[in-house]
Amino acid sequence: MSEATHHPSTWLQCAVAVADPRWQLVCFPHAGGSASFFRDWGHHLPGVRVHAVRYPGRAERLAEPVPTDLRELARATADAVAALPGVPDLPLVLFGHSMGAAVALETARALEARGITPAHLIASGSRDAAYPPPEPATEIDEDDAEVVTRLITLGGTDPELAADPVFQELVLPYIRGDSHMFHSYLPRPEPLLRCPVTTIVGDDDPDADRRPWSELTGGGFREQRVPGDHFYLVPEPPYALVLNSVAAPAEH
Residues classed as catalytic: 98, 230
Answer for the pair 108, 72: CB distance below 8 angstroms, yes or no. no
The separation between CA 211 and the C-alpha centre of its own chain, rounded to angstroms, equals: 14
Transcribe 42-111 into DSSP letters: GGTSTTEEEEEE--TTSGGGTTSPPP--HHHHHHHHHHHHHTSTTTTTS-EEEEEETHHHHHHHHHHHHH
Q: Phi/psi at 174 (nearest 5 deg)?
A: -80, -20
Indicate the DSSP class of residue 193: B
SS3 at position 123? strand
Virtual torsion, Cα 183, 189, 195, 198, nearest 10 deg: 60
Q: How many helices (H) and strands (E) does the chain have?
A: 8, 9
